[in-house]
Amino acid sequence: MSIHRWQTVYGTPHVSGRASGQLLASNLELSFWGGVDHVTGEVIDHSHPLYRQRLKNKILAIPGGRGSCSGSATILELIVNGNGPRALIFERTNEILAVGVFVAEELFGKTIPMLIVSHKGFRSILGWNGKEVHVQSHRISTYPLEPSVNDTSLSPPIDAHLHTPELSEMDKAMLQGGYKNDSGYSKAQAFAMKIIIRTASIMNAPSLMSISQAHVDGAHFGPASVLFGKRLRDLGGNFAVSTTVNAITIDQQRWRDLSVDMSFGTESEELARAFLEMGAKMSFTCAPYQLDSAPKLGDQVAFGESNVVCYANSVLGARTAKYPNMLEALIALTGRVPRAGIHLPENRLRGTPLGDSFWPLLGYEIGTKAASRIPIIAGFEYMKPPPSRDALKAFSAAFATSAGAPMFHMLGVTPEAEQHRALKESNTLSPGIAITWKDLEATWITFNQNSDFQIPVRTVDLISLGNPHFSLLELKTLSHLVHGRIKSPSTSVIVTTSRAQHSLATQAGYIAQLEAFGVQVLTDTCWCFIRDPVIKKDVKCIMTNSGKYAHYGPGLTGREFCFGGLEECVESACSGRWEGNMPEWIQAGVQNSH
């Protein structure tokens, strides 16, 4: 008699559906354009562990995509020609591949599930490589699915709906264009808005914003990409903003003289003509920044083609995300982009903004490596704005928890650090130690070690804040975060602070706002000493934003712990659960360090 050990991981579906197939898994990102043959589905990247593997009928699990914006067109061709994977499982959101999957579903009626799983969940899935895997709704399992089982019955108790961006009246009119109104918007714009909104949802963009120009790709990647461009034109597509076209796959004036295949040349010319008929300029260049129409400092634009994106942002000071092939054309039809990412000034220094959990993670990691030595920390000399006092408080507490040293120096930040710069530059000190994004990732996992990542959602009974004591600014920030929100009745929120800060916060009205939400504010004591009965006997899981308490709390209280930034703590206070998702800024750091 054989005994099966079925395994299950839950994720967030960016495209819902069901699929079964052999798992093909790798811990290395894959560029679909240039890394996968768009006709056969064979991995052609010589440096990739999946080299020569075929994606057809497989369940593909990789951390995410990388490389060219044209990966969206590659995955579209594979889905349409039947040589692509049956489902995609990622550790990190990838807008480039997502757009290709969205277009396949919306334009061609071909759906493959696409799910995002937690870091630990992805590690578990890597261990299933080669096994038969089944995907349905939120569930990824080695357990066979019953055809009669309703998808929703397999879902864990989490919100099945992705974030929906707020739409302006113009956005709503375009979304219904050519179908339910006479506003003058076309069916092409309605289709474009569907894809833009779905992309904004997975980016967690609060709304859409306008751009002044676009640079689109009109290259012939295969039958699906040709049909995509011609379908937009036939649906009444007309570019709403000034639009240039990237280099195409033929020399339009000489392709016949160059003996290009007649069928390929004709289709390429038809595709290029479709973009021109929608109002694009006959630019056909991968260097539109050389044209008179090049954007200027501060211009909001939507550019495809990786080198153009980098040059426009870095050299010209324009603002554009790295837009996937096809999405830039859809944006050009509407003039609207997700209000997110590098379009926003606060995201242009580091790409993905650092969360407040960065400082306790960094402090704990540096303390672990420094041990009894007093470290000189470099890398924040030119940080604007510099670390706040609250950031340094969180750093200090976590550093002191893991280190034996009584202090640290941070160049450009702490008062005595400058006198040690010469020692550092003369190499007379001990050899330097680099702190990597992988180190912070490992520390985050350590702080959350008591959590079951196989099912990332956990019920949170208590939110613990104020170790060390909250400052007036932190009480103000928390009051703003909970304003207008409703706390879960099953989750308590307790903040510790000093009498002095409590008095100031009371005068400012912050304490009243916090108590209205359901926060209990304690003075005099702190979490190092709080036990029963303040921590109720039925509390099983505590969430904190303190690196110090994430370390000491499990031993002091005997409870399970999870860790996150202040905003994550508020989200858990409202939902009553912790989603177990690694912060995007850690994921982006790890991905960009490869």
| Residues listed for the chain | 594
Q: Which two tokens stand for residue 280?
A: 């694009």
Cα 307 from Cα 304, distance rounded (Å): 9
CA-based nearest residue to 575, from 202, 161, 205, 198: 161
**Which residues contact residue 42 at a Cβ distance below 8 angstroms, ignoring those fewer than 6 apart?**
36, 52, 53, 54, 55
Cα 90 from Cα 61, distance rounded (Å): 6
Residue 426 annotated as catalytic: no
Which residue intervals of 5-132 are DSSP H helices?
Answer: 71-81, 95-108, 119-126
Q: Which amino acid is at 130?
A: G
Q: Which two tokens stand for residue 521?
A: 């504010």
Cα 549 from Cα 466, distance rounded (Å): 9
Which residue is listed with tokens 């595709």?
271
**Which residues contact residue 290 at a Cβ distance below 8 angstroms, ignoring those fewer than 6 apart?**
none
Helix (H/G/I), strand (E/B), else coil: 301? strand
Q: Which of 16, 31, 47, 68 does the annotation list as catalytic?
A: 68
> Residue 385 to residues 74, 230, 251, 297, 586: CA-CA distances in angstroms?
41, 49, 49, 22, 20
**Which residues contact residue 108 at a Cβ distance below 8 angstroms, ignoring those fewer than 6 apart?**
79, 80, 224
Q: Which two tokens stand for residue 165?
A: 């961006």
Cα 344 from Cα 184, distance rounded (Å): 31
DSSP class of residue 342 equals G
Bin 449: left if φ > 0, else alpha if -120 < ψ < 50, else beta: alpha
> Residue 558 to residues 16, 68, 452: CA-CA distances in angstroms?
39, 49, 16
- Catalytic residue IDs: 68
